[in-house]
Amino acid sequence: MIKRRHFLRSSAATLVLPFLESVGFRRFASAAAPAAPAKRMIFIAMGYGVTQETWFPDRAQTGPGYVLPPGLAPLARHKEDLTVVQGLSNRYSEDAHAGSTFWLTGANPHEGGAVFHNGISADQVAAAAFGKNTRFTSLQLNGSDTDLSGPGHGQGLSLAWDTRGKPIGGQNSPLAAFNRLFSAETVPVESLRLRLAQKRSLLDTVMEEAKDLQRGLAKADLEKLDEYFQGIREIEVRLAKEEQWQSVPKPKSPLQAPPDGPLGREEIRLMYDLTAAALQTDSTRVVTYRLPISNLLASLGVKVAAHDMSHYNPGERMEASQRRDAANTELLAGLLDKLKAVPEADGSRLFDHTTVVFGSNISNVHNLTNCPTLITGGGAGVKLGHHLVVSKDTPLCNVWLTLLRGSGVELERHGDSSGVVKELIV
Amino acid sequence: MKALASVVGDAKSVLPPAELGKALENFCLEAFRGHTPSPAFLKRLLNVYDDRRSQGGNHRQALTETLALVLSSPRFLYLSEPSGALAGAGTPAPSEPLAPSQNQSSGSGNLSARDLGTRLSYFLWSAPPDHELRDLAATGALLHPEVLSAQIGRLLDDPRSGDFLRPFLHQWLRMDRLDFFRFNNVLFPDFDESTKEAARMEVYETFAHVLRKNRSLRELLKSDYAVVNGVLAQYYKLPGVRGDDFQVVNLPADSPRGGLLGMAAIHGMGSNGEHSSPIERGAWVLRKLLNDPPPPAPANVPQLSRLEGKVLTTRERLVAHQEQPQCASCHRKIDPIGFGLENFDAVGQWRTEDSYERPGQARKTWAVEPAGVFHKGPSFASYHELRDLIQARTEDFSRAFSTALLQYALGRPVSFSDETLVERMVSEAKTQDFALRSFILTLVRSDAFHSK
């Protein structure tokens, strides 16, 4: 660490050095103003909703003076910095078994008569706007569980869906995420360059084949093949980015490599640590996390299976649901602690420039109205510390629109949004 | 893989380019289902191999990457069915009528013989055509009705037809519901994982038997036999069956087994792992067996809380459905059927009484009363009578089956314009007492199956 005295001794040379975060000095008036810390966004989804009776605050208590319900009690130390919103739903959500598939997209699954259709997810809109300058345009994290009685999150490889409504994959364990973010490349740069050139050539080959195939196809088939072309294009874009970054070494990790295999509670804690580390090292500015469920229950010693728990009645199943809520909220409080502890170069906190959303597309059981939605972090500049009840069936996408605009994304609409949520605007 | 056997070798292998080239060409021919790769493509494949070797990869690594490229090509990934002038070998020219045959019309669509063969193979085997089928397609012989019928028979007789039946039944009958809930193994210690698997297989094996022997579809609604293995026979208390293989077992006259309505898997699908669900079961019967699907439930139906906390019989609890007209309009069709099946518990065991308990409160036990009336239809006094009434509607079942089969075979939703074909499948099958293979034959010989 560069000591302040050392800096002062060589202050003449300081003006030409790049802005060094680790020094943390107050800039001189004549120095170029550093850019304000970038905006970040984190979206975290629970599967199977929440325990209706104990997660939502009392509807009669809106505003800043509301009482935190038992399900949110572990967040007491962050109460002033978070806002709970009730009354939101995704208009086209009819099937609870779709889980989190449409949480961030608000799409109509049967648009244009399709058997399945999805749209771009809110995080990908953010990634397109502020992912250009980071090694990873966005990071998709998933729980590692494969729940036998239904995944709870529905289809998809993560919470993220691209502009064509196709699923985007991610990392399904803390170790995988760590490796992606921080493990050094062992192959020499020149070999990497050759590999990339060769990958390009592979793409050319299949492109030729595809063009050959294109001749003589009927219209509907051409549309299908177009998906193939777009897939290739996407790989090309990724290759171009890899090429751009291959001579830049990955940042040193602020935390130790996680062990392979912790499940449930410990897994979530590690993923949250990695999320904070990813943002702290500016490896990415957009993160989504699709929480594990059955692993979490197992790690709490709960014997009830996740899908059964979601169809709770007073008794064993409801208790399981409440324990699950408590664990999730405790872990979230831990993430917020971490984000508040990371300093930015200008003395503010990472938390002040990040938007965190915690919620679910399912309210409880098969109820899809009143999606549990908790917003925190200063990134979008919205009203925090409040309990808001918006008019029934306000599109959840209105929240995404509000948060994206607040993060500097110029956007007309997202999904089925009808406008911003004015109660959130400061 | 035979095409590659000679060249796979090991990491240290060194191959003459001609041998490698030939092997790759054969591999492409297989992967592209009979389409010959262009010389330009083959040249690029060899370049990929050489590039990888020159970067320090060994033979195995280079070969793997080359083969991966073939398997990422659109001609492997997609079933391409070019239409019009560029269709492949064996397309009937418009001026040449197909060889007519007395009472077996063959579709006159625009699909080439090769693409027809591929479609047939993916329908009945979920796999690319084998050499016999490909050869018949290459010469155009497959377009002749007798040849086509013979091939349909051959494919159905082959054990690979299991890869049609299992995915088809799983998707059509919504058997994913069997895995939705954990079955309570304190309440039902006998319905463990292996029994559940045997129950699932019973559905497939029963259909496979009907298919193999070309028996009537009506036997799936009621039959005097069951197709079980040792585990399931024990579960159903059917004597004399041992081992893991499924076999046909004759049933005593009063047995509730025999047909889908007696199968544990079907009843398990209509439960929540602890309690039977008359609504799920009634709706399933209407959709899958009687071709009379109820409209979907209105969005966000709230839990009916009027009866919250009370200890009631199932009928008493569900009577609330009849109170609101917008609920009653569908439930008066659904509920009677579901109640008629209440003699089966959540894991498909026969019972004559049921009970409900609230923790810390009362427990109520009652005798199961299956008697009911179809909405605007006949009455039934028992499960057996209900089953007979359902079997009497084999024609409706055929319609439901035909629609599902069409959807599966053509890989698209069924539309208004398909109704004629569905009716033809049913009416032709009817002349053969709804023999299972008849439906498949009519479908494969149809214009729709022969057209892009």
Position B300 confidence tier, pLDDT thresholds 50, 70, 90: low
From chain B, pick out residues whose CB is under 8 angstroms from the CB of A318. Answer: none
Does the structure show a pLDDT above 80 at A208?
yes
A299 and A197 within one domain: no
pLDDT score for B301: 64
Among the candidates A248, A270, A295, a domain finishes at A248
Position B96 confidence tier, pLDDT thresholds 50, 70, 90: very low
Interface test with A, best of B119, B171, B179, B180 (most A CBs within 10 A): B180
pLDDT score for B83: 61
Torsion angle in degrees (nearest 10) through CA of A170, A175, A177, A178: -160
Torsion angle in degrees (nearest 10) through CA of A214, A220, A225, A226: 100
Bridge-based pairing of strands B379-380 and B372-373 is antiparallel
- In chain A, the residue whose alpha carbon lies closest to the alpha carbon of B52 is A198
- How far does A132 lie from chain B, in Å, by closest CA? 28
How much is the CA Rg of chain B, to the nearest whole Å? 27
- Helix, strand, coil share (%) of chain B residues, nearest 5: 55, 5, 40
Q: Is residue A122 part of a domain?
A: yes
Count of CB pairs separated by less than 8 Å, A with B? 86
A49 and A117 within one domain: yes
Please tell me the total number of residues recorded for chain A in this structure. Answer: 426
**Identity (one letter) of the amino acid at B235?**
Y
Among the candidates A221, A248, A275, a domain finishes at A248
* pTM, two decimal places: 0.80
pLDDT score for B107: 55
Q: How many DSSP H helices and E strands does chain B contain?
A: 19, 6
Interface test with B, best of A89, A192, A202 (most B CBs within 10 A): A202
pLDDT score for B100: 39
Give the containing element (helix H, strand E) for B309: none
Q: At a CB cut-off of 8 Å and minimum separation 6, what does A296 contact? A: A143, A264, A265, A268, A324, A327, A328
Does the structure show a pLDDT above 50 at A130?
yes
Domain that holds residue A162: 40-179+262-424
Report the pLDDT averaged over residues B382-401: 97
A195 and A142 within one domain: no
CA dihedral over A168, A169, A172, A174, signed as positive or negative: negative
* CATH number, position A386: 3.40.720.10
- How far does A389 lie from chain B, in Å, by closest CA? 19
The CA distance from B33 to A417, in Å, is 47
The CA distance from A288 to A170, in Å, is 9
Share above pLDDT 70 across residues of chain B, in percent, rounded to a whole number: 89
- How far does A334 lie from chain B, in Å, by closest CA? 33
Angle separating helix axes B436-444 and B394-410, nearest 10 degrees: 40
Report the pLDDT averaged over residues A358-375: 88
Does the structure show a pLDDT above 70 at A22?
no
From chain A, pick out residues whose CB is under 8 angstroms from the CB of B82. Answer: 215-217
A201 and A305 within one domain: no
Q: Are B82 and A217 an interchain contact pair (Cβ–Cβ within 8 Å)?
A: yes
The half-sphere exposure of A183 on its side-chain side, counting CA atoms within 13 A, is: 11
- How far does A308 lie from chain B, in Å, by closest CA? 6
Q: What pairs with residue B21 in β-bridges?
A: none
Q: What pairs with residue A373 in β-bridges?
A: A85, A359
Q: Are A213 and B86 an interchain contact pair (Cβ–Cβ within 8 Å)?
A: no
pLDDT score for B299: 65
pLDDT score for B89: 40
The CA distance from B99 to B191, in Å, is 56
A319 and A230 within one domain: no
Do the Cβ atoms of B209 and B215 come closer than 8 Å?
yes
Q: Which residue has the higher pLDDT, B298 or B367?
A: B367
3-state secondary structure of B243: coil
Structure tokens at B153: 């028979």
Which of A20-29, A191-200, A337-346 has the lowest average pLDDT?
A: A20-29
A239 and A133 within one domain: no
**How many domains does the structure of chain A reveal?**
2
A168 and A72 within one domain: yes
Which of A31-40, A209-218, B301-310, B340-349 has the lowest average pLDDT?
A: B301-310
A215 and A337 within one domain: no
Which of A13-22, A126-135, B302-311 has the lowest average pLDDT?
A: A13-22
How many CB atoms neighbour CB A211 within 10 A? 12
Interface test with B, best of A205, A215, A310, A316 (most B CBs within 10 A): A205
- The answer to whether residue A146 neighbours chain B at the CB level (below 8 Å) is no
Do the Cβ atoms of A204 and A229 come closer than 8 Å?
no
pLDDT score for A18: 34
Please state, rounded to an integer, the average pLDDT across all residues of chain A. 85
Of A217, A224, A367, the CB nearest to B300: A367
pLDDT score for B119: 95
A189 and A175 within one domain: no
Tokens 């009819």 — which residue?
A94
The CA distance from B441 to B214, in Å, is 12
Of B73, B83, B299, the CB nearest to A209: B73
A361 and A314 within one domain: yes
From chain A, pick out residues whose CB is under 8 angstroms from the CB of B272. Answer: 308, 311
- The answer to whether residue A164 neighbours chain B at the CB level (below 8 Å) is no
Do the Cβ atoms of B169 and B207 come closer than 8 Å?
yes
- How far does B74 lie from chain A, in Å, by closest CA? 6
Interface test with A, best of B45, B75, B78 (most A CBs within 10 A): B78
Which of A281-285, B108-112, B181-185 has the lowest average pLDDT?
A: B108-112
Angle separating helix axes B17-31 and B59-71, nearest 10 degrees: 30
Position A210 confidence tier, pLDDT thresholds 50, 70, 90: confident
Report the pLDDT averaged over residues B104-133: 85
pLDDT score for A23: 35
From chain A, pick out residues whose CB is under 8 angstroms from the CB of B179. Answer: 148-150
pLDDT score for B93: 40
Interface test with B, best of A88, A191, A201, A206 (most B CBs within 10 A): A206
Q: B301: burial class by Cβ within 10 Å (0-12, 13-18, 19+)?
A: exposed
Could you report the per-residue pLDDT of A260-283, keeping only the tens digit for each?
877 889 999 999 999 999 999 999
Measured between alpha carbons, how far is residue A273 from residues A43, A160, A175, A253, A258 in Å?
15, 20, 12, 11, 10
Could you report the per-residue pLDDT of A352-365, keeping only the tens digit for each?
999 999 999 988 77
Query: Which DSSP category does B271 fall into?
Result: B
The CA distance from B374 to B380, in Å, is 8
From chain A, pick out residues whose CB is under 8 angstroms from the CB of B74. Answer: 206, 209-210, 213, 225, 228
Q: Is residue A24 part of a domain?
A: no
Of B82, B182, B302, the CB nearest to A149: B182
Q: Choose among B259, B257, B282, B258: nearest CA to B269.
A: B282
Give the containing element (helix H, strand E) for A387: strand A387-395
ipTM for the whole predicted complex goes beyond 0.85: no
Of B55, B75, B86, the CB nearest to A209: B75
Q: Are B179 and A148 an interchain contact pair (Cβ–Cβ within 8 Å)?
A: yes
Please state, rounded to an integer, the average pLDDT across all residues of chain B. 88
Report the pLDDT averaged over residues A207-226: 84
From chain A, pick out residues whose CB is under 8 angstroms from the CB of B75. Answer: 209, 213
CA dihedral over A297, A302, A305, A311, signed as positive or negative: negative
Q: Choose among B85, B82, B48, B40: nearest CA to B64.
A: B48
Could you report the per-residue pLDDT of B213-266, keeping only the tens digit for each?
999 999 999 999 999 999 999 999 999 899 999 999 999 999 999 999 999 999
Angle separating helix axes B436-444 and B419-430, nearest 10 degrees: 140
The CA distance from B225 to B244, in Å, is 18
The CA distance from A198 to B324, in Å, is 67
Of B75, B82, B272, the CB nearest to A216: B82
The CA distance from B429 to B436, in Å, is 8
Q: Are A218 and B296 an interchain contact pair (Cβ–Cβ within 8 Å)?
A: no
A343 and A196 within one domain: no
**Identity (one letter) of the amino acid at B275?**
H
Q: Which residue has the higher pLDDT, A11 or B285?
A: B285
pLDDT score for A2: 42
Tokens 């729940």 — which residue?
A147
Could you report the per-residue pLDDT of B21-78, keeping only the tens digit for each?
999 999 999 999 888 898 999 999 999 899 888 888 888 889 998 999 999 999 999 8
Among the candidates A195, A220, A248, a domain finishes at A248
Q: At a CB cut-off of 8 Å and minimum separation 6, what does A225 contact? A: A210, A213, A214, A217, B74, B78
Q: Which residue has the higher pLDDT, A214 or B81?
A: A214
- In chain B, the residue whose alpha carbon lies closest to the alpha carbon of A218 is B83
Q: What pairs with residue A369 in β-bridges?
A: A89
Which of A186-195, B283-292, B336-345 has the lowest average pLDDT?
A: A186-195
A285 and A198 within one domain: no
- How far does B47 lie from chain A, in Å, by closest CA? 10
CA dihedral over B188, B194, B195, B201, signed as positive or negative: positive
The CA distance from A247 to A236, in Å, is 18
- How far does A266 lie from chain B, in Å, by closest CA? 25
- The answer to whether residue A191 neighbours chain B at the CB level (below 8 Å) is yes
Share above pLDDT 90 across residues of chain B, in percent, rounded to a whole number: 66
**Identity (one letter) of the amino acid at A61?**
Q
Q: Which residue has the higher pLDDT, A7 or A422?
A: A422
Q: Which residue has the higher pLDDT, A403 or A197?
A: A403
